[in-house]
Amino acid sequence: MKLYVAPYAPNPRRVTMFIAEKAITDIEVVTLNLQAGEHRTEDFRKKSPLAQIPTLELDDGRCLTESRAICQYLEALHPEPNLMGRDAFERAFIEMWDRRMELMFSMPLMMWVRHGNPVLAMLERNQNPDVAALNQAQAMRMAKWLNDELASRSWIAGDRFTIADITAACGMDFAKMMKWRPGEELPNLQRWRDRFAERAAGQVAA
């Protein structure tokens, strides 16, 4: 199998973190240059019609896009260590938290970076400072709520590490481009990120 990624992009990193935590070693990682438009070539669009990364190409040529879908496929192939739930309730509970982290925390952080960081102007050609400010405010509200939630448990979806932690970390790490990271005002969130850094997923370079 081949996994197509790009440097610094948070959604491909979500998958590479997942792979690292699973200790999967038989996937070739192919890095694309987004600035050069390598994800928009005719050949790559045959694999990913919307020019999306990450894209996982199976040995038989079939392809999957969308980071969550790729992780779900890999979870089925490599069920341990389990990151998505062992029974019906736990799977739903972890997905609930993963969706919260994706839609209410990581996505606003990503949109803040995409619309607020001039380095990304070439890729985000319609940058809008109002969009950046709106998403920054949403992300900071969620960060405070998440900090309170983490006062009573070690990991986002309960007592063990799951994909929800990976999803949250990808958004937070991308926001370093805006010079933001949790500090003393968010001690539980900071403690959580420090613990994350000690794991295999936390060793994956941006």
Domain that holds residue 56: 2-77
If asked whether residues 108 and 165 sit together in one domain, one would say yes
Q: Which among 56, 77, 98 is the end of a domain?
A: 77
State mean pLDDT over 10-20: 97
Q: Which among 22, 50, 77 is the end of a domain?
A: 77
Residue of 189, 151, 163 lying closest to 84 (CA atoms): 163
Q: Examine residue 44 and state whether it is found in any structural domain, yes or no.
A: yes
If asked whether residues 70 and 112 sit together in one domain, one would say no
pLDDT in tens, 120-151: 887 777 899 999 999 999 999 999 999 999 99
- pLDDT at residue 173, rounded to an integer: 95
Helix, strand, coil content of the chain in percent (nearest 5): 55, 10, 35
- pLDDT at residue 139, rounded to an integer: 98
- pLDDT at residue 120, rounded to an integer: 84
If asked whether residues 105 and 189 sit together in one domain, one would say yes
If asked whether residues 94 and 162 sit together in one domain, one would say yes
State mean pLDDT over 34-40: 91
pLDDT in tens, 156-201: 999 999 999 999 999 999 999 999 999 999 999 999 999 999 999 9
Pairing mode, strands 28-31 and 2-5 = parallel
- pLDDT at residue 65, rounded to an integer: 97
If asked whether residues 54 and 146 sit together in one domain, one would say no
98 CB burial (10 A radius; 0-12, 13-18, 19+): buried
Residue of 72, 52, 56, 57 lying closest to 10 (CA atoms): 52
Q: Examine residue 82 and state whether it is found in any structural domain, yes or no.
A: no
If asked whether residues 69 and 97 sit together in one domain, one would say no
If asked whether residues 67 and 25 sit together in one domain, one would say yes
If asked whether residues 179 and 100 sit together in one domain, one would say yes
Number of domains in the chain: 2
pLDDT in tens, 47-106: 999 999 999 999 999 999 999 999 999 999 999 999 999 999 999 999 999 999 999 999
Q: Examine residue 173 and state whether it is found in any structural domain, yes or no.
A: yes
Q: Examine residue 83 and state whether it is found in any structural domain, yes or no.
A: no
